[in-house]
Amino acid sequence: YHVPRSWLNEGLNTLVLFEELGGNPSQIKFRTVH
């Protein structure tokens, strides 16, 4: 998934993902791309 920086606030953000194909939420990784 791509979350545009303009959607994020300074400080705390909450992200909710809904996976329709049976994905495993424990395998989610986040990374920052410059």
Q: What are the φ/ψ torsions at residue 16 (nearest 5 degrees)? A: -115, 125
User: According to the model, what pLDDT value does residue 12 have?
Assistant: 93
User: What's the CA gap between 5 and 23, in Å, rounded?
Assistant: 24
In sequence order, what are the residues at sequence separation of 6 or more whose Cβ sits closer than 8 angstroms to the Cβ of residue 19?
25
What is the domain extent for residue 6? 1-34
pLDDT digits (tens, 9 = 90+) for 1-34: 788 889 999 999 998 877 778 777 787 788 888 7
Look up the pTM and report it. Answer: 0.43
Return the pLDDT at 27.
78
Number of domains in the chain: 1
